[in-house]
Amino acid sequence: MDLIVIYSGEFGERVIGNLINYSTFCISCADACTHCKDAKYGFADSIEGFFKLIDTALLPAFIEDSAGEYLPKDIPNADIAIVSEIHNDLLLELLPILKDSGIKAVIVPQESAAIIARPQIEEICDREGIEIVFPKPFCDLHLKPPDDKPVIRRFIAEFGIGRPEVRVEVDRRGRITHVEVLRSAPCGSTWFVAKQLEGVEVENKRELYDRISESHHSYPCTASMERDKELGDTVLHKAGYLIREAVEAALI
């Protein structure tokens, strides 16, 4: 499966870095690094292109006839596109272009409380036959029946990113000895949190939750701390709850 990434802002760069998994991408453990991700995965050959657009903050509130001048001129053929933090008007203009490039599905991560034109976007995708999802945050990417989005489902399975899933090993004393990452947050934070949980006593919920929260906040997550009306909380907090839920599910 091939993909492209079209983005504006830091989050898109983190996703690209995590997908490529180059040796200096994750530096969160600093001198304590155990190279836990080395040779575990790498999708550089699957990325047909990535395009950084002009910062949305530098664009006018409304872009009418000139939207095309801000978009990539030559978009390669691919199965799926991740489109992150770009201007609403550019996204609306971009969708038919993606269709012409063979794109079958689009993921639009929402890492901030910014409002996007979801009804209009969904209408265009329905017309063009494009699968689309709007995970908020990106680490809430998941599908469940009766969702009929086979391309996005395949992406989650093949690339192993989306809503975090882990396997936890516990010794006789009730302490975590190892956390295996089965599916990671797209930014890669799940790997860092997994390493920080080693040695934690699982019955000590306060210590467990504190360690999850502290390690998640220590990783350079770019989710917004602005309160989101739809979530009733910040996007960053939602991301933290998702990794905690993944650890709790693994301990049942």
> For the chain, what is the mean pLDDT?
93
Q: Each residue of 165-194: pLDDT tens digit?
A: 999 999 999 999 999 999 999 999 999 999
Topology of the domain comprising 165-251: Enolase-like; domain 1 (3.30.390)
Q: Each residue of 24-52: pLDDT tens digit?
A: 888 778 778 888 888 889 999 999 999 99
Determine the Cα angle at 145 with ends 151 and 153, to 5°: 20
Q: Each residue of 60-108: pLDDT tens digit?
A: 888 877 778 899 989 999 999 999 999 999 999 999 999 999 999 999 9
- Alpha helices (runs of H) in the chain, residue ranges in sequence order: 10-20, 88-100, 118-128, 150-159, 189-196, 205-218, 235-251
Q: Each residue of 101-151: pLDDT tens digit?
A: 999 999 999 999 888 899 999 999 999 999 999 999 999 999 988 888 999
Alpha carbon distance 153, 208 (integer Å): 31
b/e string for 235-244 if b means 16 or more Cβ within 10 A?
A: bbbbbbebbb
Predicted TM-score (pTM) of the model is 0.93
Which amino acid, residue 55? D
CB-CB contact of 187 with 221 (8 Å)? yes
Q: Each residue of 187-237: pLDDT tens digit?
A: 999 999 999 999 999 999 999 999 999 999 988 777 888 899 999 999 999
Alpha carbon distance 37, 14 (integer Å): 15
Any idea which residue has 């989005």 for tokens? 149
Domain limits, the chain: 3-138, 165-251
CB-CB contact of 98 with 130 (8 Å)? yes
User: Which CATH number describes the domain made up of 3-138?
Assistant: 3.40.50
Nearest partner of 56 among 68, 69, 70, judged by Cα: 70
What pLDDT, on a 0 to 100 scale, did the predictor assign at position 42? 95
What pLDDT, on a 0 to 100 scale, did the predictor assign at position 207? 96
Backbone angles phi, psi at 128, to 5 degrees: -90, -5
CA 12 remoteness from chain centre: 9
Report which of residues 10 and 171 the model is more confident about: 171
**SS3 assignment for 158-227:** HHCECCCEEEEEECCCCEEEEEEEEEECCCCHHHHHHHHCCCCECCCHHHHHHHHHHHHHHCCCCCCCCE
CB-CB contact of 50 with 5 (8 Å)? yes
The answer, yes or no, to whether residue 16 has pLDDT greater than 90, is: yes
What pLDDT, on a 0 to 100 scale, did the predictor assign at position 57? 87
